[in-house]
Every structure is written in C-alpha cells, then in structure tokens.
C-alpha cells in the first residue's frame, strides 16, 4: 500500500493536531466514544511520505467556545429547567493527549513501510484518523505500517490493541530467539497469565511444526502449577490444551515433535505413551542446587560443598543417613550444629518425603541404582520439545529444585559444547561440567555424566554433526519457565549465588533463556530483572508494581503508565529490546483460538 492507499483506507477525518511537542501531542476531535489507548494515524508529507502513529493516554471533554465547562455543569445541575441547545456547529469536542509511538516512512523503491522511533513530529494541524478496530481495511493498513514492529511471523502472542478492542488484522509476535533470552510475564491473579502461557505454548508447537530442516526449533520447559496446560478446559467442554495439539499430529509429526514425552507429573501415570511420571535421582543434585532454592548460611554452604567434594553423587544419601563422621577430614572442621542444620535442610529429600527424588546408593543393591528422567529431559529439550511439568503434587522445594537441576544441567551441557572442538573435548568437558574427574579423584555427579556421555555417543543428545561438536546456535532455543519467580529469585535467596543468576547473565550466550512468571515485579532480584529482554506486562495489583514494571521494561513504557491501571483480562503491554516501541496487545482466549474463532474483538 502506498501513501494514498493507506490514506483512503482510513476514511473520514477524526480530528486535527493541535499543540505538539516531542513529549506530547494534543488532538482536538469531534465528540465521540474514545478510550485511553485508542490508536490514531496522522498522515504527513513534510519530508518523505509518512504516517505517524499516535496513542492517546488521556483525554478530556471540552467545548468549542465555552471555556468553563464547570459553569455549564453547574448550570445544568442547579437550573432544573435549563437545556443544551442542539447546534449545527460542533460545540462538544474531545481533547486527546498522548504520545507518538513513532512513524512509518514509505520506501517507494520497494513499496514498503519502515517504522522509526519518534524523532520527528507531524506537521502543524495534521489531520488525525481514528484506527477503527472493526474495519478490516484499517487493520490491514496498520499492519503494513507497523510490520517491522508487530513481528507477525514470530511466535504469536496476541493482536495489537487499539483502545479496548484488538485489531484482528494486526497479529503481534515475538521472535523465536526471544525464548533463548529472558522473558518476564507479570500480572496479578486472574489477569490471564495462564491463558497467555497456553497461547505461547501453542505458538511454540506451531513454530516447531513449521520449522524446516535448517531452521531453529524452540524448546520450553513449562512448569504448570495448576495442571491445566495439558487438558485446559476439555473437562468442561472447552478446548483441550497441549494434549489436543499432540493428538492432532500425525505419527510422523509426533515422532519428530513430541516423543518420548511432553507431559511430566509426580502422579503415577505410568511410563507408557507420551506422558510420564517424573523422577530425578539424589545423584543429580549438587549443593548449588539446594542453595538456589532455600536459605543456607555461609558456613552451611561451605560444609555442603566440602561434603559433596568428598562423597560426590552420594552426598545427599550419606547426609540423610547421618554418615558424617568423616566430615572435615580433608579440610575445615565444622561444628555439629552446622552439620545438623544442613541435614535438616535436605530432610525433604529423605525416602518417603519426596515423590520425585529417588534414592541413590548403588552399593546397596539394584533398588538403589540410578533412576532419573533427567538425561531424557535434557535430550528432549535439545531436540526441540515442549515439556509441561505438572507440579500439583510436588512440594514447593521439590518444584524449585526440579527446575533448578534441569536448568543447571542444561546450562552445563551447553557450556561444555561451546568449549569443545572435538568429541573427546566434549565428553571431557561434560564430565568436568558435572564435577566428575576421576583422574583427579573427584567423583562429582559421575553417574549423570556417564548417562549424558552415553547419550552424546548414541546421538540422543544431538551434539555431534559430521564428527565435530555442533555449534550451540544450531540447537533449539531453550526456555525454562520459572513460576512464582520471587520465591527463588529474590535478593535474599540469591545472596550466595544461584544457578538462575548465572543463567540470567550468561544463558543467552548458550541459547538458554528464562521465563519468569510473577504477580510481583518488585520482589525479583534487580540483577535478574535487568537481564530481561522481553516483558509481557498484564494488569498488576498496585501502583508500586506498575511503577517497577515501567522502570524495568526493555522499551519505554512511560506513556503506558496510566493504561497499566486499566488493562482488562488478557490485555498486556509487550516491551522488548528487539523492537523500537512497546505495543499493547490483546491475548486471545485460547479456547477461541483453537476453535478457529477470531477473538480479537
């Protein structure tokens, strides 16, 4: 569409630009049903053909000539016989104030529009056109103008929001690689976070389904605290969740996109099909994992690390068994109270107290052998899978620990891969990444390392290509979802280090991103917040949280501060460092989306 085409599509003029500065625009418009957040386009031919995109952040009713509206209201109230004459001239007007999101400039050679940040202003007294969500032609015009900002070919998250209604012709997406960076999803209870996650999971599924041989897949490890992502509303007659997407696949697609599993739960659901009981071994744990999820003193951490160095993968079992007589033989001595405190802290891992961590003491018989789904989970994530983890039967610490171990192990594998030039390098680096160096007498997580090395050699971990280690950027983008993020990402918990702090700082180098889901922005460690590249901010609970959301956003949310107060269910502000401007979006109802019903309105 060229300038004239867009101008024609916009229809009747809505208002005229009045005062304008780079900070704020004022538009005088005819009396109409306007809403905060409504979008307007201002055609301008001062310089190259441009359309400015204006978004209203506040408005007021004004009179054309009557200066004191208060006097009129007073008269209406106190003079019961008064009236308001019906004039031909437009006496009742509205004055809109807001900001320029930016402008789209037409490039005649390619007949395309390129969007720019708002470094310029529209010309004096520019005509202003309302973006009418009910008009398909207007939606199409907006889509063309904002094409470089909408990211419609990425992972779909919603439709561009114009006031209270979405523009069905203007889908908004985030690039797949955004999941290898860090994402924040913030919103109070009931604002639509779960529905947003469902839409995102569906988009990941579709991305992997359409990804060709050379294009990157996306993996997501999605914690599901309410066990809703698998079945969604199928039990009540609504749409099925990821299970529905899986059921719709052909056997070949299922082999390529789902096998060996997509759903993990602490419930006994057997090992058949693509839904599994999840369990990890005590042998998979390191002191760092525990420090990441619960409170430890400095002394306790030092003891735990020394004990792990001594006993490697059996350190938890020996601690729980009280086998601490040799503690301190090769190093510092610890007070009995310190040792007892660490024992208490790992107590939730004792047999019978946990549904997901299995015992590990191979010397005591087959029953105590290594039993863990962790290697399979890691293989799945490295092959482009969408894994849902039902945590309803897990304790809070178990859930956080599962998350931590998976993230830490994947992070270690990717680091090893990046550090390797040959297969031998890779296998050695993997062992070192899991603290297993038999030549140096370090046991570390030997069994887990053995399993992972075996999977590299078998090809289940697709790290070798043509006899050499595969560059990490040829692997799927992996995203680990952290639910109730403040519980483990608060500054107090992260005082002595956290695997999530490491991933937040370095994860994107290895293609691993975090998605932090929280009702509160303010409780999350600032160091982690500054590493977020994409935020989806839904309705927040109070002014403090809104302020923090604005402060930490990856794109300027200054003009959205007021709108954050009035966001409805499923409405969000998408800010990302991959785009020039923040965008308001309406996340569609997942049920409608899967039924092919356009819920954009």
Residues that bind other proteins (CB under 8 A): 63-66, 72-73, 75-76, 79, 81-89, 91
* Closer by beta carbon to other proteins, 65 or else 119: 65
Least distance between other proteins and beta carbon 59 (Å): 21
Shortest distance (Å) from residue 127 CB to other proteins? 17
CA dist 292 and 273 (Å) reads: 33
DSSP 557-583: -GGGHHHHHH--TTEEEEEETTSSS-E
Tokens linked to 249: 């696949």
Comparison of 18 and 137: residue with beta carbon closer to other proteins: 18
In 3-state terms, what secondary structure has residue 64?
coil
Instruction: Kindly state the smallest distance separating residue 18's Cβ from other proteins, in Å.
Output: 11
Q: CB nearer to other proteins: give 75 or 215.
A: 75
Q: Would you say 82 or 474 has its CB closer to other proteins?
A: 82
Q: Which residues are within 8 A (CB) of 168 and not within 5 positions of it... i.e. 6 or more apart?
A: 133, 136, 139, 159, 598, 600, 601
Q: Are 265 and 303 in contact (CB under 8 A)?
A: no
Please classify residue 357 by burial: count the beta carbons closer than 10 Å to its beta carbon, then call 0-12 exposed, 13-18 middle and 19+ buried. buried
Cβ proximity to other proteins: between 13 and 74 the closer is 74
Q: Which residues contact 509 (CB under 8 A, 6 or more apart)?
A: 418
Report the nearest approach of other proteins to the CB of residue 73 (Å): 8
**Region for residue 502 given its phi and psi (left: phi exceeds 0; alpha: psi -120 to 50; beta: otherwise):** alpha
Both tokens of 114, joined, read 């390129």
What HEC string does 399-457 produce? Answer: HHHHHHHHHHHHHHHHHHHHCCCCHHHHHHHHHHHCCCEHHHCECCCHHHHHHHHHHHH
Query: Residue 17 or 410: which CB sits closer to other proteins?
Result: 17
Shortest approach of other proteins to residue 50 CB, angstroms? 24
Pair of tokens at residue 382: 């490295």
d(C-alpha 32, C-alpha 37), whole Å? 14
Q: What is the closest distance, in whole angstroms, from the C-beta atom of residue 28 to other proteins in the complex?
A: 13
To other proteins, the closest distance from the beta carbon of 134 in angstroms equals 30
Are the C-beta atoms of residues 336 and 300 closer than 8 Å to each other?
no
307: Cβ contacts below 8 Å, ≥ 6 apart: 287, 315, 318, 319, 324, 327, 342
Report d(CA 143, CA 155) in Å as an integer.
16
Q: 94: Cβ–Cβ under 8 A, 6 or more apart, which residues? A: 15, 28, 29, 30, 31, 32, 34, 59, 60, 61, 62
Pairing of strands 386-390, 263-265: parallel
Whether 374 and 389 have beta carbons less than 8 Å apart is answered as: no
What minimum distance in Å lies between the beta carbon of 43 and other proteins? 22
Residue closer to other proteins, measured from CB, 71 or 153: 71
Name the minimum Å distance from CB 198 to other proteins.
51
Distances (CA, A) of 566 to 196, 216, 537, 563: 18, 38, 12, 5
Shortest CB 160 distance to other proteins, Å: 36
In angstroms and rounded to an integer, the radius of gyration of the C-alpha atoms of the chain is: 28
Nearest-approach distance from CB 25 to other proteins, in angstroms = 18
Structural contact between residues 213 and 565, judged by C-beta atoms closer than 8 angstroms: no
In whole angstroms, give the CA distance from residue 312 to residue 337. 22
| Choice between 82 and 565, CB closer to other proteins | 82
Q: How far apart are CA 400 and CA 483, in angstroms?
A: 9
**Least distance in Å: CB of 21 to other proteins?**
17
Of 158, 170, 159, 259, the closest CA to residue 208 belongs to 259
Q: Which is nearer to other proteins, 90 or 323 (CB)?
A: 90
For other proteins, which is the closer residue by CB, 85 or 189? 85
Cβ proximity to other proteins, 90 vs 298, nearer residue? 90
Residue (89 or 421) nearer to other proteins, CB = 89
Q: How far is the CB of 15 from other proteins (least distance, A)?
A: 18
Provide, rounded to whole angstroms, the least separation between the CB of residue 556 and other proteins. 32
**Closest CB to other proteins among residues 8, 75:** 75
In this complex, which beta carbon is closest to other proteins, that of residue 17 or of residue 573? 17
Report the C-alpha gap between 240 and 236 in whole angstroms.
Answer: 10
Phi, psi dihedrals of residue 468, rounded to the nearest 5°: -125, 155
Q: Closest CB to other proteins among 71 and 271?
A: 71
Min dist CB 117 to other proteins, Å, is 31
């Amino acid at each position: 569409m060229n300038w004239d085409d867009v101008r024609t599509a916009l229809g009747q003029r809505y208002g005229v630009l009045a005062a304008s500065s780079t900070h704020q625009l004022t538009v005088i418009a005819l009396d109409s049903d306007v809403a905060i957040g409504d979008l307007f386009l201002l055609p301008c031919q001062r310089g190259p053909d441009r359309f400015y995109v204006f978004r209203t952040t506040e408005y007021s009713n004004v009179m054309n000539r009557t200066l004191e509206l208060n006097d009129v209201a007073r008269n209406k109230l106190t003079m019961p016989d008064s009236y308001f004459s019906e004039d031909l001239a437009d006496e009742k007007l509205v004055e809109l104030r807001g900001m320029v999101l930016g402008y789209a400039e037409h490039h005649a050679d390619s007949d395309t529009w390129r969007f720019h940040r708002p470094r310029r202003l529209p010309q004096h007294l520019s005509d202003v056109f309302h973006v009418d969500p009910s008009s398909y032609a207007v939606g199409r015009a907006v889509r063309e103008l904002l094409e470089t900002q909408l990211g419609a070919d990425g992972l779909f998250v919603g439709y561009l929001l114009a006031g209270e209604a979405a523009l069905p012709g203007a889908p908004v997406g985030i690039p797949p690689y955004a999941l290898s960076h860090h994402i924040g999803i913030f919103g109070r209870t009931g604002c639509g976070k779960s529905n947003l996650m469902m839409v995102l999971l569906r988009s990941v599924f579709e991305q992997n389904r359409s990804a060709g041989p050379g294009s990157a897949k996306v993996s997501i490890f999605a914690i599901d605290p309410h066990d809703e992502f698998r079945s969604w509303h199928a039990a009540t007659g609504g749409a099925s969740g990821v299970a529905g997407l899986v059921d719709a696949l052909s056997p070949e697609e299922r082999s390529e996109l789902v096998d060996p599993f997509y759903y993990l739960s602490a419930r006994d659901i057997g090992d058949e099909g693509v839904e599994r009981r999840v369990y990890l071994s005590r042998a998979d744990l390191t002191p760092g994992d525990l420090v990441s999820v619960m409170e430890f003193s400095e002394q306790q951490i030092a003891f735990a690390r020394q004990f792990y160095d001594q006993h490697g993968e059996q350190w938890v079992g020996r601690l729980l068994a009280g086998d601490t007589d040799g503690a301190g033989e090769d190093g510092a001595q610890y007070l009995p109270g310190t040792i007892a405190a660490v024992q208490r802290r790992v107590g939730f891992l004792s047999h019978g107290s946990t549904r997901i961590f299995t015992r590990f003491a191979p010397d005591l018989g087959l029953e105590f052998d290594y039993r863990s789904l962790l290697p399979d989970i890691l293989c799945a994530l490295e092959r482009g899978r969408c894994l849902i983890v039902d945590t309803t039967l897990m304790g809070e610490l178990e859930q956080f620990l599962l998350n931590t171990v998976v993230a830490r192990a994947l992070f270690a594998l990717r680091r090893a891969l990046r550090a390797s030039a040959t297969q031998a390098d890779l296998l050695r680096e993997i062992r070192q990444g899991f603290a297993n160096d038999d030549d140096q007498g370090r046991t570390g997580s030997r069994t887990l390392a053995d399993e992972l090395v075996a999977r590299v050699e078998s090809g289940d971990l697709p790290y070798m290509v043509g006899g050499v280690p595969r560059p990490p950027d040829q692997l799927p983008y992996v995203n680990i979802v952290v639910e109730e993020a403040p519980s483990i990402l608060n500054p107090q918990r992260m005082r002595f280090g956290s695997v999530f702090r490491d991933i937040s700082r370095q994860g994107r180098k290895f293609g691993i991103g975090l998605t932090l889901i929280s009702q509160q922005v303010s409780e999350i460690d600032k160091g982690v917040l500054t590493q977020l590249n994409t935020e989806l901010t839904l309705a927040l609970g109070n002014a403090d949280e809104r302020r923090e959301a604005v402060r930490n956003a990856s794109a300027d949310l200054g003009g959205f501060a007021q709108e954050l107060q009035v966001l409805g269910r499923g409405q969000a502000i998408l800010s990302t460092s991959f785009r020039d401007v923040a965008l308001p979006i309406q996340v569609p109802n997942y049920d409608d989306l899967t039924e092919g019903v356009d819920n954009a309105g």
